[in-house]
Structure 1
Amino acid sequence: MTLLAAPPEAPAFELPRFVSLLRHAVPRVLEGMILPVAVFYVGLVLGGFTAGVVVAVAWVYGGAAWRIVKGRAVPGSVLLAAGMVTVRAVLALLTGSPVLFFLQPTLGVFCASAAFLSTARLRRPLARRVAEDLVPLPDQVLNKPLMQRFFRRQSLIWGCAQFVNGSLSLWLLLSQPVETYLLVRTSAVAVLLSGAALVTLADFRGRLRALQRGA
């Protein structure tokens, strides 16, 4: 590892290895993005739409309960997700409409796209805020001009990727059965977002190497 220069009042920071950063980020991505869809689909296949909704709600609340049992703080994002999935589940079960259950997340994707794009030129674009949750880097690293340019660039990339994601998801949701929606959307979005993630990881790795060289 390489020690990065720090302000006089701060200790030198030892830049973690890239693999360590991945170990920190991957579980959060799995918990928040991949496993919720997987458990809903399992419930849907085994017991129908109602079972899928119940399993999805149980997954979110189970994650919060597990943290409480372990004596860990429940992140605000988990509490927000619990509230949102509850409202979605109630509306979907009362109306019997799967569209209502999936429409809010799809609209949320468009909001995320707009947020990435609209903050790309700000001092703290949304891409940086996301990175701060996923990657343990101090402000002395995040505030470097090289990293600021990286976050602006990534805000544009992810804004465009999420717009394509939302457009595809909305079309599938309104035109296909829920089983087809889940299978096709999950596969297509996985390819789309994996491609964007690979671009981000390659760019990020390049920025870390530049920081290690003292850029």
Structure 2
Amino acid sequence: MGDTVFEIPRLRTMARHALPNVLEGTVIPLMVFLTFFHLVGVFGAMIAGLLWAYSALARRLWRRERIPGLLVLSAVGVTARTAVAVATGSVLVYFIQPTVGTVLVAGAFLASVPLGRPLAEKLARDFFPMDPGTLANRHVRRFFSQISVLWSISNLVNATLTLWLLLDHSLTTYLVFRTAISPALTGSVVAMSFLWFRISMARGGIPVQVAQGGRSGAVIQRLLAGRRI
């Protein structure tokens, strides 16, 4: 199997690093939307959200700073949603599009398992280098199949809760709770995945160590290196 040792950052370090991007790409856009929704209505709020997304991108470009992937996805998503909503004149279309995307992602995770090419493995290889011997280990392969199913279930639960909030509650309630539920659910599954990963690797005799001190920052930088826009 070789001398493979996985070094992973502390969850607290990853959360601290991700917080500014989550605020910029998720929380602040929500506050902008809600403010303009109560002031000028839903279509005015859509335009305000669009302007916020592109002003945040422009600020990063002007300062020559790294553009977070979450911010890019947010800008692309709100652009597509606004265009379709304006073209159809349907507010429901604007809010249901992310839920449809979540269901498709869940389907992709689930379909990848019986095909023998679990999607979780492909994503993990973007972050952790793995030699062929490690990938051939039965504990490793079982882990990626199981975790792909877990992420599929997580996305389906997310989509179900989101759709229920959208159809049975007020728009303000939907927006607030959706913004809270999605990160909370994702964070819980990430934590479960890390724990599951360490247990599975221990069963397979593959050492896993958590980066200490300054090394956590270096690991985070390596993880982000392949994700820069």
TM superposition score normalised by structure 1: 0.71
Deviates further, 160-169 or 84-93: 84-93
1:64–1:121 Cα change, 3 Å: farther
State the alpha-carbon separation in 2 of the partners of residues 107 and 101 from structure 1. 11
* Structure 2 equivalent of residue 212 of structure 1: 207
Contact 2:33–2:49 (CA under 8 A) maintained in structure 1:
no
Secondary structure of the 1:16 match is strand
In structure 1, the partner of 2:36 is 47
Match of 2:163 in 1: 170
1:187 and 1:81 map into 2 onto residues whose CA distance is 16
| Partners of 1:99 and 1:193 in 2: CA distance | 24
> Hey, what's the Cα distance between the residues in 2 that align with 1:158 and 1:182?
23
> Are residues 1:143 and 2:111 paired?
no
Kept in 2, the 8 Å contact 1:57–1:82? The answer is yes
* 1:28 to 1:116, Cα distance in 2 relative to 1, 3 A: farther
Q: What's the offset of the Cα at 1:71?
A: 7.1
Structure 1 stretches of 5 or more lacking a match? 7-12
Conserved? CA contact 1:92–1:101, under 8 Å: yes
CA contact (8 A) 1:113 1:160 kept: yes
Note if contact 2:25-2:74 (Cα within 8 Å) is conserved in structure 1. no
- Relative CO higher for 1 or 2, CA cutoff 8 Å, sep ≥ 6? 2
The Cα shift of 1:179 comes to 0.5
Q: CA 1:158–1:41 in structure 2 vs 1: closer, same or farther (change >3 Å)?
A: same
CA RMSD of aligned residues (A): 3.6
Letter matched to residue 135 of structure 2: N
- How many pairs were matched up? 199
8 Å contact from structure 2 (residues 29, 53) kept in 1: no
Distance in structure 1 (CA, Å) of the matches to 2:136 and 2:62: 37
* Match for residue 156 of structure 1 among 126, 149, 159: 149
Alignment of 1:4-153 (within 5 A): 5=2, 15-19=6-10, 23=13, 27=17, 31=21, 35-48=24-37, 49-50=42-43, 52-62=45-55, 64-65=57-58, 66=60, 70=64, 82-93=75-86, 97-133=90-126, 136-140=127-131, 143-145=135-137, 146-153=139-146
TM-score normalised according to structure 2 size: 0.67
Matched residues, percent identical?
26
